[in-house]
A and B are shown apart, each in its own frame.
Chain A
Amino acid sequence: MDMQVAKKKLGLKERYQVMTRGLDWTPSYQKMEDIYPYAAYEGIKIHDWDKWEDPFRLTMDAYWKYQAEKERKLYAIIDAYAQNNGHLNVTDARYLNAVKLFLTGISPLEYMAHRGFAHVGRQFPGAGPRVACLMQSIDEIRHAQTQIHSLSNYNKYYNGFHDFRHMLERVWYLSVPRSFFDDAVTAGPFEFMVAIGFSFEYVLTNLLFVPFVSGAAYNGDMGTMTFGFSAQSDEARHMTLGLEVIKFILEQDPDNLPIVQRWIDKWMWRGYRVLTLVGMMMDYMLPKRIMSWKEAWEVYFEENGGALFKDLARYGIRPPKWLDQISFDKDHISHQAWATFYQYGAAAAFNTWTPNDEEMDWLSQKYPNSFDKYYRPRLEYWREQAAQGKRFYNKTLPMLCQTCQIPMLFTEPGDPTKICYREVDYQGSKYHFCSDGCKEIFEYEPEKYVQAWLPVHQIYQGNCFPEGADPTAEGFDPLAEVLKYYHVEMGRDNLDFEGSEDQKNFDQWRGQATKNA
């Protein structure tokens, strides 16, 4: 007698169906809009969530298995790196300051991305994107963890690695990446996906990760390089999701186009402004350079991004606004940013320096239109002054842009000798901006940006001193008190690299490793 035996295992396709969309159900006693309250208010119209094409076919059980395997390899390498004093193999202790910038400015954003995708993964009415966002949310928290674990090794030996989480919500320049992400996670789910899933993860991510990961590889930092490579397969998935989201939204309803276009304009500009920090890192902070910021922008944005926007033209999407200005500014922003950190080096949680002769020549060669004319004289003057014991520390607080929160250091489109000033009157108050992009973003949603926690204004309001500090007391030193509030230790975490504790220790330890004395 023939017996019908149930198949023990599902086929790959069935299994995927059952383990993702099969987990969804249609509610019977609750209304859809009560379950998904954020699905409609942004104005995006979705008629059929089942049209969502899952960009990758991964089920949760396969996800755990695959990620666990990757993580085991990663931690084996990190352990070996730590046990073999791998930190002494980096090119030069100046390099570590790029890593400090990454840990304080970027790793916390991975955590914020985790929160953002978890939120969106709850709020989309479609099961397909919910599962994809759930996985990305777990990726992001893993990335935050592996980055913190990899970099914690440096905290045993060097300054400035000790309190990144505390610093994120306080230190002036960290308000730039922080407010960028706060802006995204406080938007609705569709805007978040266009902001982070598409604009950041798809279009700009190469400009963030390639410089840091290649920079690590070029500068002997095996630990950072390894987590970069480990994250790469996840990033490929994130990029696919980002692109799928855009296409899905645009295919659902023609009314979605202007909304999505505005978000692309906004978030490309916001992301580009945050990347100023990366440009400065590439041109000034890596002892062994990979490529210039300008070259990176040309390859990863102008060429790759150009092809993408050609592809999206069939949906009616045009390239983001303000590209002419960005194209002009690629000769300038990294120099303008480093000059800012150099002069406010007393208030930064890393060391700063002037480039040496060889590095200046590299900059001249990479920036023939700008470096010798506008930036070399400034840097050489500072270097001479420092040699005479008059290292420049700017002690007066700068004016900030209301939107990107960067000091007003950017220049007029087409004229690198004039600071770009833009202002708006809103409800009887003045608001100031570094650019047309930041101004227009404010004008569209002023209610949001009037709440900006601008570090300079907060200091002047008296909100950035440690508990118990008395600004009216005689001899009150505001800078010293602000540094205490930041948990930045004067003379250790900040000031010039020349003469720093990191420099001395690194030289001594490397000397012990390579010499007999």
Chain B
Amino acid sequence: MAVAALRKYEFEPADAPAKFHGAQLLYVGWEDHLMFCAPFAFPLPPTMPFRAMVEQVLPGAFGYHPDFARIDWAKAEWFKSGRPWTPDFDKSLADNGLGHKDVIRFRTQGLTGIAGSCS
């Protein structure tokens, strides 16, 4: 449906890619670890290698959790928009098909948060 309006109702989206100074937004969530209340939003260059995102960006965001140091990244399961997905760690975010405002999640088998509570 379209918005009911008296005149033409067209406005630019507030979050168009051009407004992020060359970065694109990527949302990342860690399944079964709700101590981080919500997935994170990162402004990252599309040319950043996926590996750099995992090794340099994620620790600053998720590193507080005692499970984080125990992650075996080779076994982590990934999801893009909720569907199983396999990233290539050596390719860039863009070459992995990640665009502006894409959402990915990872699940780390055997790690289920504080006292198994998914916290």
Contact across chains for A460 and B6 when beta carbons are under 8 A apart: no
Contact across chains for B41 and A456 when beta carbons are under 8 A apart: yes
A381 CB contacts on chain B under 8 angstroms: 35, 114, 119
A272 within 8 A of B: no
- Chain B at the A interface: mostly helix, strand, loop or mixed? loop
Contact across chains for B64 and A399 when beta carbons are under 8 A apart: no
Which stretch of A18-26, A36-44, A197-205, A219-227 is in the interface? Answer: A36-44
Contact across chains for A417 and B41 when beta carbons are under 8 A apart: no
A 407-439 binary contact with B (CB < 8 Å = 1; else 0): 111010000011101010001011110000000
Contact across chains for A454 and B29 when beta carbons are under 8 A apart: no
Contact across chains for A399 and B100 when beta carbons are under 8 A apart: no
Question: Of the candidates A42, A377, A398, which one forms a contact with B119 in the assembled complex, judged by CB atoms under 8 Å apart?
Answer: A377
B69 within 8 A of A: no
A516 within 8 A of B: no
Closest to B27 in A: A399
- Chain A at the B interface: mostly helix, strand, loop or mixed? mixed
Nearest CB on A from B20, distance (A): 6
Nearest CB on A from B99, distance (A): 8
Counting chain A residues whose Cβ lies within 8 A of the other chain, the interface size class is 35 or more
Please judge, given known A-B contacts A378-B119, A381-B119, whether A444 and B37 are in contact too, CB under 8 Å: no
B 15-47 binary contact with A (CB < 8 Å = 1; else 0): 110011101010101011011111111110000
Contact across chains for A398 and B39 when beta carbons are under 8 A apart: yes
Give the distance in Å from the alpha carbon of A407 to the alpha carbon of B39 in the complex. Answer: 8
Contact across chains for B39 and A460 when beta carbons are under 8 A apart: no
B103 within 8 A of A: yes
Nearest CB on B from A172, distance (A): 12
Question: Of the candidates B10, B12, B41, which one forms a contact with A400 in the assembled complex, judged by CB atoms under 8 Å apart?
Answer: B41
Please judge, given known A-B contacts A407-B38, A444-B1, A461-B20, whether A450 and B13 are in contact too, CB under 8 Å: yes
Give the distance in Å from the alpha carbon of A249 to the alpha carbon of B27 in the complex. Answer: 43
Please judge, given known A-B contacts A42-B4, A399-B27, A452-B14, whether A460 and B43 are in contact too, CB under 8 Å: yes
A38 CB contacts on chain B under 8 angstroms: 6
B74 within 8 A of A: no
Contact across chains for A432 and B37 when beta carbons are under 8 A apart: no
Nearest CB on B from A93, distance (A): 25
Contact across chains for A417 and B20 when beta carbons are under 8 A apart: no
Binding site for B on A (CB under 8 A): 37-38, 41-43, 188, 336, 339-340, 343-344, 373-375, 377-378, 381, 392, 394-400, 407-409, 411, 417-419, 421, 423, 427, 429-432, 443-445, 447-448, 450-454, 456-458, 460-462
Chosen A-B contacts, 19 in total, with CB atoms closer than 8 Å, are A41-B5, A188-B4, A339-B35, A340-B38, A343-B37, A381-B119, A394-B64, A398-B40, A407-B37, A421-B29, A421-B103, A421-B105, A423-B103, A429-B13, A432-B27, A454-B15, A457-B25, A460-B20, A461-B21
